[in-house]
Structure 1
Amino acid sequence: MKALKKAMSVLVSLLMIFTFALPAFADSATASITINNAVQGETYKAYKLLDLESYDASNDLYVYKVTTDWKDFFQNGEGKNYITVDSQDYAAWKNTASKDDANLKALIDAALAYAEDKNITPTATQTAANTSVKFDNLGLGYYLVNSSVGTLCELKTVDQTLTIVDKNKKPDVDKNIVEGANRVTNNDVQIGDTVNYEVIVHAKKGAKNYVLHDTMSKGLTFNKTSVAIEGLTAGTDYTLVTDGLLDGCTFEIQFSDNYLKSLTGDTDIKVIYTATLNENAVVKTDANTNKIVLKYGDQSTVEKETKTYTYRLTVVKKNADETKMLKGAIFKLSTDEAGNHPLKFTEKSGQYVVDPNGAIETITTTDSGTFTIVGLDAKEYYLTETVAPAGYNKLADPIKLVVSKDNVKKGNEILPNDTLTVKNQSGTLLPGTGGIGTTIFYVIGGLLMAAAAVLLITKKRMNSDK
C-alpha cells in the first residue's frame, strides 16, 4: 500500500483512485470524502470499483472484492491488464509494474471510458456549491473520483475521513481581434474587409471534452479555410465541424481525447481564423458580434465576445438657399483626395452598400436629392462631385470627411446624424440678342439718326445765311 500511496501522489491524471481503511474493520462502517479547493458549479462523481472486505493496516495487507458494476471491466475489459480478479471475485494487482505512474493513469482513463460507455451510475454525485464538496456515508472500498472539469486529486490519508485537494482550475479563453501588433476586443472595418481572430484556450492538466463553439452574427462571413491551431494537426488533434450543428453556432473545434490526455501541464492552445464583414452588417451603434464558447467536461462553459463596427454617411444635395432638392448630381467616394481609388457599391434596399466586387462606382442623386452609403470604416474619405445638376456649378474640390465611431466630421464641423448637405450655386442667364441688347441697339440707332438730322438742318441754315 505504501508503494500505491507514493504512486498516486504524483498522478498527472484528472482523477485519483484511493482506499478507505479503518483501524478496526466493521461491516457497518462508513466513510466520507471531502474535496477541498473544489470548483464552484462543477459536478463531482465517486465510483466504487472494489469493496474493502478486510485489512491489516500494521502489515499493509488489504483484501478487496470487485463490485458488480465493475466485474466485467476487470474480468474482460482493459482493467484486467492492471488488476486480476479470481473465481471468488477477489482483486489483486497484476504485478508491481501495474502500480507505476503510467499504468495508474492508463487504468484511470480506461475506467472513465468504461463508465461512460456502460453508463455506470456513480456511487455518489455532488455539485460544488462553494469551494468544498463532501460525500458522506460511503462504503469502505477502492474509489475512482472525477469531475466535469477533470479533477486532479491527491491521496491524503487512508482513515475513515478522507480529504483530497482538487488542484484543477477552470480552463479559460482569451479572444481578440488581431490588428497588426495589437490585440483588441472591438474594431472598425469597411464592408469587404477581413477580420482576423485569435483565441487562446488556457487548457488545464487533465483536460476533458474540450469543444470550442464559435457563433458569428449575420454580418460576418466565416472563412472556413482560415482555421489553424499552432502545433496541432487537423483531423488528428482536432476536428473542424461546420455542418449539422444543433446549437446554431457557425463552427465547432472538437479536440481529440488523445490530444487532451497528452497534456502534462497547463497548456495554451492558440487558434486563429478570419471572417469578412458582409452586406448584412449592422451599422453604427449596433455591433457585428463573434462569440466563442468553450465547453469542457460534462456541461461547463466559458464565453468571450468581440465586436466589429461599421458606419454610414448620408448625402443631401440642395441649391444654395436650401429651398430645393437637386437631382442629377453624380458623386464618387474615395479613400484618396485625387479620387484614384473610388469605392464600389451594391444597391440594397435603397442604400449603397460598400462592396469590393460591386458594379457601382458613382452615385447619381434622384428627385429626393438624397442617398446613403453603408459600410464605411473609421477613417478619412473624399467625396467628389464629378457632374453637377443641370443649371448648377460643379464643386471645385473634393470634400474631406473623417468617419469615426462617434460621428462624421467635415473639417471641425460634426455632421448631425452623419448627414452631409452639399449645396450648389446656380448659373446666371447672360443677355442675348433677343433681349435687352436689341432694345439698346434700337435706342442708340435712333439717337444717331436724330443727331444726323440736327447736323443736316444746321448745315443748311449756315449755307442760306451766306
Structure 2
Amino acid sequence: MRQLRRLLSVLVMAVTIVGMSMTAFAQESVSGAGGNGSITIENASKGIHYTIYKIFDAKVNAEGTSVAYTKKDISENPYFKKDSAGNITATEDAYEAGSKEQLSEGAIAWIKENGKEVCSETSDGSILKFTGLPYGYYYVTSTLKDGGMIMVTSVAKDAQIVDKNSKEPQWTPGDDGNAGGKSIVLDDGKQVKENNVSIGETVHFRLQINTSNYVADKQIKEFIIEDTLPTGFDAAKITSVMIEEEPLEQFENTTFPVTIPWAADEGENGWKNLYDTGAKITIDYTAVLNDKAVIDGEGNKNSARFSWNYTTEEPGKSSIEDSTTTDTYAVVIQKVNEKGEALTGVEFEVPFPVQAEEESGVYTVKGGQTGTGKVKAGSDGAVVIKGLKMGDYRVTETKAPEGYNKLTESFLVSAEKIRATRTDASTYLDENGNVTESETETKVTYTNADFAAKVKVVVNKSGKLLPGTGGTGEMIFTVSGVLIAIVAGVVLLNAKRRKRIV
C-alpha cells in the first residue's frame, strides 16, 4: 500500500495533489462516464489539450482503509504488478532509468493502449475540472508533456492537481499581419516593427506578453517589464496596462520599469496565483521623437525586455529582447548657377514648420505642428532639413540670389530611406545649365559625413525673364503698346495733313 501511495503521488507532468477545498473553476468538462469523482487541474495551460485515461477500476472497503483495483490479468505486464489483496504497484520498468518520477516510454505506451480514454478538453487558461468520473486509477496527460497518474476513489473522489509544466513566458507571436511582442501601433491600428515619422511626432508602442504561472515546478511571483528608449526619444509615457481585459490603472501616466505582482503570499496556505496561466499582458505607451534622433542609417532602435522572479529564493529569468525601429529622414536643397557654382542669398517656403539650428542653412522639422516654414541657404548654397517622415514636399522659392531669376514654379523634394550613414551625392548639368542624368563636365557634389540625405540640385539662371502672363508686367506692356500706337497714329496723321497743305 505504501508503494501504491508513492506511485499515485508521482505526476510526471509535474502535477501535485493539493488541498481538497477548491471551490472556484471557470471551465468544466463532463466525462459522461456516469461516476461521482472529479479531477481538477489548476494552472491549466491555455490552448493545451488535456486527456484522461482510466487504467484500473477502484473499490474501497467498507472501513475506507484499503483500495482494491480490478483489471484483467496483468501477470505478464512488465510495468505493473498486483498482490493477493488486489493492490497494484509499479515495477522499476515503469520509470525511466535512475528516476522514480518520470514514467518510461514503454509504460506510457502500455497505458494508452490498455487504458480507456475517458475524456479530454482544450484548456481556456482557467481552472479545468473533469467531472462524472467513475472511481479508479487514472493517467492524466497533455499535449504539452506526457503526464502522470492519480487516484480517484470514494475516500478521495475529488482529486486536485496543479499543472506545473507551463511553457516559459514569451513574447506573443504576430497574427493576421500584425506584429507581436514589441510593436508600433499605426493610426489605422496595424501593429508593425518599423515606421517613420517626423521629429516632434508621437509614436505609439505596444508590448504583449504571454505569461504562465509556473516554469517547471517554480511558481512565478512577479513580472518586471522594461523598455530602453534611445536618446532620440523623450521619456516613455504609459497609457495603459492590461491583463487580458482587466486594466491596471495604477500604472497609467507612469514610466518603466513596470512590476506586476503575479502571486500573493497567503502565509500557511502558500502562494496563490492572481491570474490564469497564459493570461496576456498588454502595455501601451507613447514617446516623442526628438532632435537627437538618428537620421536614416540604422534608425532609432529601442528594445524591451521582461523578466520574472519566483516565490522561492531561486534566481528568476529574463526574456530575450524584442525591438522596433523608427526612422526619420533628411533632404538637402543645393542652389547653384548654370556653371554649377553655389549661390547664396536664396530663400524658400516649405510646407511644414521648422526650427533653425546654430549652423547656417540647417533646420529641424517641428513635427506634430501645422503651418509653413521659411528657410535660407547657408554659405555653401545648401539648405539642410532634418527630421522628415517619408514623402514628397513642395517647395517654393521666395527670394532669388541677386542677379539671378527667381523660379517661376515650385518644385518637389523627396524624403526617403537611403540606408546609409553619410551623404555623397553627385549631380550633372548640361550645356544649358539644366540637370541631366548623363555625366557631363559640369558636376555638382554635396558631402555630409554626419548623416544620409536626399539631395535636390536647383539651378538659378542669370539675366531677366519677361514677365509671365496675367501679371502686372503684362498690364504695363499692354498700356505702353497702346500709347505707342496712339502716338504713331498721331504722327502719321499730322504727316498726311502737311502733304495736303503743300
**If the length of structure 2 is used for normalisation, what is the TM-score?**
0.48
Aligned equivalents of 1:169, 1:413: Cα separation in 2: 59
Cα deviation for residue 332 of structure 1 reads: 2.1
Letter in 2 for 1:271: I
1:67-466 to structure 2, matched below 5 A, reads: 156=149, 167-173=165-171, 174-179=181-186, 180-206=188-214, 207-224=220-237, 226-229=239-242, 231-235=246-250, 242=255, 251-258=256-263, 261-297=273-309, 298-322=316-340, 324-334=341-351, 342-348=352-358, 351-356=362-367, 361-406=373-418, 418-427=454-463
Q: CA contact under 8 A between 1:177 and 1:196: conserved in structure 2?
A: yes
- 1:213-259 Cα deviation digits (max 9, x unpaired): 10111111134253443522233xx69864xxxxxxxx211111348
**Structure 2 gaps, min length 5:** 11-15, 19-38, 45-88, 91-97, 104-126, 129-143, 152-161, 172-180, 215-219, 265-271, 310-315, 428-434, 439-444, 447-452, 467-502
Which residue does 1:42 correspond to in 2?
none
Q: CA contact under 8 A between 2:238 and 2:252: conserved in structure 1?
A: no
Which residue does 1:457 correspond to in 2?
none
Aligned equivalents of 2:374, 2:285: Cα separation in 1: 34
3-state SS of 1:386 partner: strand
Q: Quickly say closer, same or farther: Cα 1:413–1:213, change in 2 above 3 A.
A: farther
1:42-57 to structure 2, matched below 5 A, reads: none
Identity of matched residues, %: 24
Q: CA contact under 8 A between 2:43 and 2:277: conserved in structure 1?
A: no
- 1:369-396 Cα deviation digits (max 9, x unpaired): 1121110101121121111111111111
- 1:326-361 Cα deviation digits (max 9, x unpaired): 111011221xxxxxxx33224155531112479993
Aligned equivalents of 1:401, 1:360: Cα separation in 2: 15
Aligned equivalents of 2:145, 2:42: Cα separation in 1: 7
Cα deviation for residue 429 of structure 1 reads: 11
**Structure 1 gaps, min length 5:** 15-21, 24-30, 37-100, 103-150, 159-163, 243-250, 335-341, 431-466
- 1:122-181 Cα deviation digits (max 9, x unpaired): xxxxxxxxxxxxxxxxxxxxxxxxxxxxx99966489xxxxx985211211211111113
Q: CA contact under 8 A between 2:231 and 2:293: conserved in structure 1?
A: yes
**If the length of structure 1 is used for normalisation, what is the TM-score?**
0.52
- 1:410-441 Cα deviation digits (max 9, x unpaired): 999899852111110112599xxxxxxxxxxx
Q: CA contact under 8 A between 2:336 and 2:342: conserved in structure 1?
A: yes
Q: CA contact under 8 A between 2:346 and 2:376: conserved in structure 1?
A: yes
Aligned equivalents of 1:11, 1:240: Cα separation in 2: 38
Aligned equivalents of 1:156, 1:257: Cα separation in 2: 29
3-state SS of 2:344 partner: coil
Letter in 2 for 1:299: K
Aligned equivalents of 1:384, 1:422: Cα separation in 2: 11
Letter in 2 for 1:178: V
CA RMSD of aligned residues (A): 4.5
Letter in 1 for 2:235: F
Instruction: Kindly name which structure, 1 or 2, has the bigger radius of gyration based on alpha carbons.
Output: 1
Letter in 2 for 1:12: E
Aligned equivalents of 2:377, 2:196: Cα separation in 1: 28
Cα deviation for residue 312 of structure 1 reads: 0.7
Aligned equivalents of 2:325, 2:101: Cα separation in 1: 43
Aligned equivalents of 1:349, 1:391: Cα separation in 2: 26
Q: CA contact under 8 A between 2:222 and 2:263: conserved in structure 1?
A: no
Q: CA contact under 8 A between 1:153 and 1:166: conserved in structure 2?
A: no
Cα deviation for residue 191 of structure 1 reads: 0.6
Bigger CA drift: 301-310 or 202-211? 202-211
Q: Quickly say closer, same or farther: Cα 1:349–1:12, change in 2 above 3 A.
A: farther
Q: CA contact under 8 A between 2:185 and 2:191: conserved in structure 1?
A: yes
Q: Quickly say closer, same or farther: Cα 1:241–1:226, change in 2 above 3 A.
A: closer
Aligned equivalents of 2:253, 2:400: Cα separation in 1: 54
Aligned equivalents of 1:152, 1:412: Cα separation in 2: 68
Which residue does 2:27 correspond to in 1?
none
Q: Quickly say closer, same or farther: Cα 1:221–1:34, change in 2 above 3 A.
A: farther
Q: CA contact under 8 A between 2:170 and 2:319: conserved in structure 1?
A: no
Corresponding residue pairs, total = 285
Aligned equivalents of 2:335, 2:320: Cα separation in 1: 51
Q: CA contact under 8 A between 1:205 and 1:266: conserved in structure 2?
A: yes
- 1:305-340 Cα deviation digits (max 9, x unpaired): 000001111121111221x32111011221xxxxxx
Q: CA contact under 8 A between 2:194 and 2:324: conserved in structure 1?
A: yes
Aligned equivalents of 2:237, 2:329: Cα separation in 1: 26
Aligned equivalents of 2:163, 2:213: Cα separation in 1: 15
Letter in 2 for 1:272: D
